[in-house]
Structure 1
């Protein structure tokens, strides 16, 4: 009986958390080869961008961690905008970005520099 009660409580808590917390949306990322700028848009809806936000972003250049940034809040309640200069990136390189929500989940995207 205790197991059933524990399982029920755990299930309710996990479903409740998923209503209020969610991973980042579909990340948009582009790299401008002229000025070596990575432009990133991370959709992430929140009622309070200082309580529920993108808290960590990691940028990898050819599988080597190049940038890591932690946040205490999000740009606004809808999205996190980022711009990073990556002077060493050249055609054929791979840029991978991982964005993490402070409550639940993460999302990753990758592009090849042209």
Structure 2
């Protein structure tokens, strides 16, 4: 029984010591921009600040230790303030930890307000209608050359092959440009002008395909070869006129004219 009483007394004394040893109850951080000082305001109620005190304060900026101060007492038995010269910028995160020499730790954190350095702007994506327009104009230029060769270029050696080649290249560019319209609806705003531009583009596609088909089959038409040639030429001329009109409509749809 005597041993049990001694152990109980030791336990009570130990619990009393643990209860007496406690970390600071409050800590607040304030940054004074005028003086460049970080104020650490601490509340730590103790009976004797020379035996029970905050022994260490660690200051971190963005996770990196800036200052680590050790103390053998605290200025008062309840509330006190330490000041540390620290260079901080808007957007910095500051944390402070205060260790009691007997038991426990308290931490506090602040974020320095203000405008942080903005990251470099992302490159602006080129609107898809720009590629659509470049492809169509390039194709139109090749098809114009193909249309002019039978009229003004017959003196050029191999003009017919050049006529066919430029027509094929121009058709590829034009078909690719028209295909972009069906790939996405974001080429231009959904205005009435743009709707007309799209509908006229479909008509362009039909006339271009008609001209290409007529060019391919006319050599197999026999007696109708001359008639098919005339229709082929007319289809090509209609295509050129429609391209000019549709280019103007496209520029109007995106607000350039």
Bucket of the pairwise TM-score, normalised by the shorter protein: 0.7 to 0.9
Moved over 6 A (4+): 7-10
Classify 1:16/1:30 alpha carbon distance in 2 versus 1 (closer, same or farther; 3 Å): same
Output aligned runs, 1:67-106, within 5 Å.
67-87=67-87, 89-106=88-105
Identify unmatched segments of 5+ residues in structure 1: 1-6
User: Which residue of structure 2 lines up, in the alignment, with residue 39 of structure 1?
Assistant: 39
Q: Deviations over 1:68-87 (max 9, x none)?
A: 00001101111232001112
User: Which residue of structure 2 lines up, in the alignment, with residue 53 of structure 1?
Assistant: 53
Classify 1:102/1:34 alpha carbon distance in 2 versus 1 (closer, same or farther; 3 Å): same
Larger Rg: 2
Identify unmatched segments of 5+ residues in structure 2: 1-6, 114-257
Quick check: which one's helix share is greater? 2
Q: Deviations over 1:7-60 (max 9, x none)?
A: 978864552222211011110111112321111111001111100000000000
Cα contact 1:33–1:90 (8 A) shared by 2: no
TM-score, with structure 1 as normaliser: 0.84
- Aligned partners of 1:9, 1:64: CA distance in 2, in Å? 46
TM-score, with structure 2 as normaliser: 0.39
Q: How many residues align?
A: 109
The higher relative CO (CA closer than 8 Å, separation ≥ 6) is in: 1
Cα contact 1:98–1:108 (8 A) shared by 2: yes
- Aligned partners of 1:107, 1:72: CA distance in 2, in Å? 18
- Shift of residue 109, structure 1, vs aligned partner: 0.5
Taking only aligned residues, the RMSD between alpha carbons, in angstroms, comes to 2.1
User: Which residue of structure 1 lines up, in the alignment, with residue 106 of structure 2?
Assistant: 107
